[in-house]
């Protein structure tokens, strides 16, 4: 089981480190950093599963992160988002445009780097590997599935807070749980929520997890247990 007391200590140390770096005069761009949970496993997974999507209670990426929504009918969804006053989606990409305008490796790379978060109409998810390409998925930017029936506000909000939990292919794996703007309590909530699901994703469950650490994209790893 997750050691909550030690987790809180690691979070406190990490957020203090991130705050110091953010206030550093040399940090001209003042960029936010992603916070990750690192797992060390005692065996290699020989049968990787499809990713599991875990809805977390708080944002993973900074609030101003760019969001792309991939849909079948871009025009109707654009009208729907506008009618509901939803402003969190920066680009609505029609599936036909994805197929025809992003054929080359370079254009796929540009699309990948254009947004921090990708969402996709649920029924289109199985088709994405063909049109987004291997490198897109290797970057861990797998689009989060969204059901587009009914009101979209809560569904979009939930999807933006969803963590893609990949089945590990080696003895280490990392999952995004927040960012340098997250509060300590938000990080605790997100990590606890994630760990309730992990035994169902990691082969062997808790017994296969040798170590747990916490880090940001540019910080050292802080052991939790």
46 is written with which tokens?
């020989």
* Domain CATH code at residue 182: 3.30.190.20
The model's pLDDT over 81-109, given as tens digits with 9 standing for 90+, comes to 999 999 999 999 999 999 999 999 999 99
CATH number reported for the structural domain that contains residue 152 in this entry:
3.40.50.790
Does 106 lie in the same domain as 188? no
Q: Of all helices (H) and strands (E), which one includes residue 173?
A: strand 172-179
DSSP type of residue 152: -
pLDDT, tens digit (0-9, with 9 covering 90-100), for 126-135: 999 899 988 7
Tens of pLDDT along 150-169?
Answer: 899 999 999 999 999 988 88
Is it the case that residue 218 has pLDDT exceeding 90?
Answer: no
* 155 and 211 share one domain: no
Full domain range(s) for residue 130 = 62-160
Q: Which two tokens stand for residue 22?
A: 């953010």
Q: Of 143, 160, 177, which residue is a domain's last?
A: 160
Please check the confidence at residue 193 and state whether its pLDDT lies above 70.
Answer: yes
Query: What is the average pLDDT score of the chain?
Result: 90
- Whether the per-residue pLDDT at 117 is higher than 60: the answer is yes
In this structure, the answer to whether residues 137 and 68 fall within a common structural domain is: yes
Distances (CA, A) of 169 to 34, 62, 139, 222: 22, 28, 14, 22
Is pLDDT of 58 > 60?
yes
Question: What integer pLDDT is reported at residue 87 of this predicted model?
Answer: 93
Q: How many domains in the chain?
A: 2
Whether residue 152 lies inside any domain: the answer is yes
DSSP at 141: -
For 12, the enclosing helix (H) or strand (E) is helix 4-23
Residue 27's pLDDT band (cuts 50, 70, 90):
low
pLDDT of residue 161: 97
Do residues 70 and 145 share a domain? yes
| Pair (135, 45) in one structural domain | no
pLDDT of residue 144 exceeding 90: yes
């Amino acid at each position: 089981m997750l050691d909550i007391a030690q987790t809180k200590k690691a979070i406190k140390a990490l957020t203090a480190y991130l705050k110091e770096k953010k206030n550093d005069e040399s940090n001209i761009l003042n960029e936010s950093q992603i916070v990750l949970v690192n797992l060390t496993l005692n065996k290699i997974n020989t049968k990787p599963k499809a990713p599991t999507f875990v809805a977390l209670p708080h944002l993973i990426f900074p609030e101003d992160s760019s969001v792309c929504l991939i849909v079948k009918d871009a025009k109707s969804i654009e009208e729907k988002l506008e009618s509901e006053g939803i402003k969190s989606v920066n680009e609505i990409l029609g599936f036909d445009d994805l197929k025809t305008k992003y054929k080359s490796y370079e254009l796929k790379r540009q699309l990948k780097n254009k947004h921090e978060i990708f969402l996709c109409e649920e029924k289109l998810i199985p088709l994405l590997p063909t049109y987004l390409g291997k490198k897109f998925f290797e970057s861990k930017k797998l689009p989060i599935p969204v059901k587009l029936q009914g009101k979209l506000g809560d569904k979009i909000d939930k999807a933006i807070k969803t963590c893609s939990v990949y089945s590990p292919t080696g003895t280490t794996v990392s999952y995004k749980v927040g960012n340098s703007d997250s509060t300590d309590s938000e990080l605790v909530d997100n990590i606890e929520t994630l760990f309730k699901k992990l035994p169902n994703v990691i082969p062997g469950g808790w017994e296969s997890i040798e170590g747990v650490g916490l880090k940001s994209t540019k910080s050292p790893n802080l052991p939790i247990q």
